[in-house]
Amino acid sequence: MAEHAVPLAEPTIPEGTAMLALQRLNDAAGLVAAADLALERGLLGLLAPGPMDVGALAVAAGLDPKPCEVLVRQLQLAGAVARTPDGRVAARVDEPGLRYTLRRWRTLPRVVDGGPPEPTAHLYPTLTPVLADWMLPSHRVVARTVGRAGMHLLDLGGGMSPVGQLVVEAHPDARVTVVDRPEVLRVLADRLDSRADRFSLLAGDLLVDPLPADADVVLLSGVLHLFDDDDVLRILRRAVRATVDGGTVAVAEPLLREDGEIDETITAYEIGLHLRHPQGGIWPYSRLAGWFARAGLSDIHRLALPGAGSLVLGTVGRPATDRT
């Protein structure tokens, strides 16, 4: 008898039910438990030299073939390993990366009780180049929005100054001042090409160290969320003082929804942010716009950026429309 393929209906658990909530938590916990175990049994270390047959991997890890297959499939689900066309298992992430990603969550109980987070400043020299590439579509929109010929852009906590680099590429007579930690600026200095003469690198603390006072645009891209509310206002006031009359302060950040509803990407990001920078946070647009107004900015508005971010802009001094 001929077999007929019967299309299977998607087994869906209705939204808003306890069963769906538990199912999601169960899936997430299962993924983490499997990744933790794979780490403990050294699976990713074994795969570091190159792809392996799953049977050979099981033997090398001291696992029975069946649980090894199950663990490998969970790692596949997470994207941590992939199958080669001939069915072998290839690592997509390295062991130190996975260990760091999983172990960092162990500090959450300490952090929520007011204890110190793990220090992160030492990560920025390696993290900021990755961030710059990862967020490129968003940086392009920011650069197009704020960039113009002959401008002076002050990029506070600029990292690799991805927006500054795009602005100078489009407007070779623009100038960029980047303020960041010296160890980050050393990496930036190595990456700047023939346009290095358009950049001034100011090593220091953006909260306290002197800033230029002639910026046409001050940019804070992915920076304000690191600071507590008082410091956010303090930094915005410093940004205003660093900007010429009629200039712009621009903040690129992921923002919470106004209605209190959950945005998946931003909410996932928020808990990681709390783990690393419990003093910082993310806010809805109305809260940030309130700080903009208190810092003396006018014509405050917001643009959506590719990905999960928003660009919030405000004008220093009299709005352009009031000037003759």
Ligand X SMILES: C[S@@+](CC[C@H](N)C(=O)[O-])C[C@H]1O[C@@H](n2cnc3c(N)ncnc32)[C@H](O)[C@@H]1O
Q: Does 315 help bind ligand X (rule: CB under 6 A)?
A: no
| Whole-number Å distance between alpha carbons of 244 and 321 | 16
Closest by Cα among 314, 310, 271, 323 to 292: 314
Q: Calculate the CA dihedral of residues 254, 259, 265, 271 and round it to 10 degrees.
A: 80
Q: Does 170 help bind ligand X (rule: CB under 6 A)?
A: no
Q: Does 157 help bind ligand X (rule: CB under 6 A)?
A: yes
Closest by Cα among 31, 29, 44 to 97: 44
Q: Does 221 help bind ligand X (rule: CB under 6 A)?
A: yes
Instruction: Name the residue nearer to ligand X (CB basis): 89 or 240.
Output: 240
Identify which range of 69-77, 200-208, 210-218, 290-298 contacts ligand X by CB under 6 A: 200-208
Q: Which two tokens stand for residue 266?
A: 């931003």
Q: What would the DSSP string read from start to end of 145-173? A: HH--TT-EEEEET-TT-HHHHHHHHH-TT
Q: Does 146 help bind ligand X (rule: CB under 6 A)?
A: no
Q: Does 250 help bind ligand X (rule: CB under 6 A)?
A: no
Nearest distance, CB of residue 129 and ligand X, angstroms: 9
Q: Does 228 help bind ligand X (rule: CB under 6 A)?
A: no
Nearest distance, CB of residue 135 and ligand X, angstroms: 6
> Rg (Cα) of the chain, in Å, rounded?
24
8 A C-beta contact, residue 253 and residue 305? no
Q: Does 132 help bind ligand X (rule: CB under 6 A)?
A: yes
Q: Does 216 help bind ligand X (rule: CB under 6 A)?
A: no
Residues 100-129 that bind ligand X (CB under 6 A): 124, 128
Q: Which residues bind ligand X (CB under 6 A)?
A: 124, 128, 131-132, 157-160, 162, 179-181, 184, 205-207, 221-223, 226
